């Protein structure tokens, strides 16, 4: 019996139509669907995005939903990642191909990175299928350009003192999950003397999508702000 | 007769399977397909990506291929962009919906930005559909992660003195179209004291895709280098 392989598939920001043809094809025929969820009792967002593809399947497949809690405790996290990776490894070694679905793209701040390393270190073949990243979807929703010509863009997941160092030299900043660090972000942006525009997008391409000028002061998890500086 | 609207659609990096379901659906039913090409006599790369979707259509549609030359002369470029935008406007005002297809994503260094502004200033409805960006597809092809946890990533289309200013504070640099500025890029990276890894991808997801460790010294247009710095 041969060993299976692992697909790391980005399912995009939320709208099921933003799946790629390749993602839909692979998700439509692979034995094991691995869909991380952040909380027991709460369905996986990634899984809801591919539900329609799964509903159309007439063959047999298995959906596994390991718990990837959003916690800070490194040891506790490691425990969860190891459990998830071991479960995946077991299935793959039994000969099944598996898909690990992840919001956005599997190479950009993705839960996939945590298990990919371990699975790959065991010699399992890994195939990554890129997905629509949240920040390009946010720009599309806001009807703005992220970058043109020789613009430099910085993608910042957690604002710290480094942002003020790079800010004078970049044209576009994408601040992700802004609700976690809005105070320091806003200060930092305010102190830049250039003309700027700020647009924030919450729950991009999801049912409750919201696009506003400026920053947003609620605690929505899926919050992204795009800051663009004028060149002159 | 009502006025049409304009879809700006990202068709991804090259592999037709990296179209989104949404892109394929809209391209499969819109009256006018606008596919910029860089040279007379040379087919549009974006058009080749959607050719299969168009081949399956049984209804009538029109494909227009305006010339968007890759030149530096700003006036000459403006002339081409204006011509393209006017042609689009004419069709849309006649009542047709139109799709402008663009490699990668329409909001990231895209030719779409040049006509979007003009079309929008005429009050035409604009719908942007995000696409797979070249850099996430490159990371997928190279089987590496771009970012994890609190990494800051800089996307740099044309290396200038600003890169050395931001470099100490970022964890990942994506250098696009590296063949145009490889000398200065390589110097800049070499001078950073941190441990680093460099991977270059050419013609990502296309027939002649090539992934190599380090930089590549040929003049391929579709060249991207991903530089990752170790944290410790």
- Mean pLDDT in chain A? 93
Distances (CA, A) of B114 to A80, A118, B78: 47, 44, 9
**ipTM of the prediction:** 0.95
Name the residue among A142, A47, A200 with its Cα closest to residue B130.
A142
The dihedrals phi and psi of B173, each to the nearest 5 degrees, come to -120, 130
> Hey, are the CB atoms on A107 and B15 less than 8 Å from each other?
no
* pLDDT tens by residue, A104-117: 999 999 989 888 88
* pLDDT tens by residue, B82-105: 888 999 999 999 999 999 999 999
Position B232 scores a pLDDT of 62
> Hey, are the CB atoms on A166 and B152 less than 8 Å from each other?
yes
CA angle A140, A137, B91 (to 5 degrees): 30
Report the predicted TM-score, pTM, of the whole model to 2 decimal places. Answer: 0.95
> Hey, are the CB atoms on A132 and B20 less than 8 Å from each other?
yes
* pLDDT tens by residue, B38-88: 877 777 899 999 999 999 999 999 999 988 887 778 888 888 888 889 999
Distances (CA, A) of A13 to A128, A216, A224: 17, 19, 12
Name the residue among B150, B149, B145 with its Cα closest to residue B174.
B145
Q: What are the chain B neighbours of A120 within 8 Å (beta carbons)? A: 143
> Hey, are the CB atoms on B12 and A24 less than 8 Å from each other?
no
Q: How far apart are CA B199 and CA B138, in angstroms?
A: 9
pLDDT band at A232 (very low <50, low <70, confident <90, very high): low
* pLDDT tens by residue, A21-33: 999 999 999 999 9
* pLDDT tens by residue, A177-226: 887 788 899 999 999 999 999 999 999 999 999 999 999 988 888 899 99
pLDDT band at B1 (very low <50, low <70, confident <90, very high): low
Residue of B106, B132, B149 with shortest CB distance to A20: B132
Q: What is the DSSP secondary structure assignment for residue A168, as one 8-state letter?
A: G
pLDDT band at A36 (very low <50, low <70, confident <90, very high): confident
Nearest 10 degrees: Cα torsion B119, B124, B125, B128: -10
Q: What is the DSSP secondary structure assignment for residue A149, as one 8-state letter?
A: T
Position A38 scores a pLDDT of 80
Q: What are the chain A neighbours of B166 within 8 Å (beta carbons)? A: 152, 154, 165-166, 169-170
Position A219 scores a pLDDT of 80
Name the residue among A59, A145, A174 with its Cα closest to residue B106.
A145
Residue of B108, B132, B151 with shortest CB distance to A130: B132
Distance of CA A18 to the CA centre of its chain: 13
pLDDT above 90 covers a percentage of chain A that reads 72
> Hey, are the CB atoms on B154 and A150 less than 8 Å from each other?
no
Q: How far apart are CA A97 and CA A1, in angstroms?
A: 12
Region B192-199: what's the mean pLDDT? 96
> Hey, are the CB atoms on B107 and A140 less than 8 Å from each other?
yes
Residue in B closest to A15 by C-alpha: B22
When mean pLDDT is compared across A192-206, B3-17, B135-149, B179-193, the lowest value belongs to B179-193
Rounded to a whole number, what is the distance in angstroms from the first to the last CA of chain A? Answer: 64
């Amino acid at each position: 019996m041969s060993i299976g392989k692992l697909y790391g598939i980005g399912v995009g920001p939320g709208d099921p139509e933003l799946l790629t043809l390749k993602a839909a094809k692979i998700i439509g025929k692979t034995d094991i669907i691995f869909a991380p969820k952040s909380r027991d009792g709460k369905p996986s967002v990634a899984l809801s995005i591919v539900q329609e593809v799964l509903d159309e399947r007439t063959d047999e497949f298995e959906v596994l939903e390991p718990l990837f809690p959003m916690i800070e405790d490194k040891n506790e996290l490691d425990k969860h990642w190891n459990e998830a990776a071991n479960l995946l490894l077991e299935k793959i070694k039994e000969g099944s191909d598996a898909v690990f679905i992840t919001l956005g793209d599997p190479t950009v701040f993705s839960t996939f990175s945590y298990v990919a390393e371990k699975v790959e270190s065991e010699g399992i073949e890994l195939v990554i299928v890129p997905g629509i990243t949240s920040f390009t979807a946010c720009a599309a929703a806001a009807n703005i350009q992220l970058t043109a010509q020789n613009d430099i863009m910085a993608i910042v997941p957690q604002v710290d003192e480094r942002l003020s160092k790079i800010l004078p030299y970049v044209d576009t900043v994408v601040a992700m999950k802004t609700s976690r660090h809005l105070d320091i972000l806003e200060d930092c942006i305010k102190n830049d003397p250039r003309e700027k525009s700020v647009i924030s997008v919450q729950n991009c391409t999801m049912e409750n999508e919201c696009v506003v000028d400026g920053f947003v002061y609620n605690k929505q998890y899926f919050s992204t702000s795009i800051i663009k500086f004028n060149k002159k």
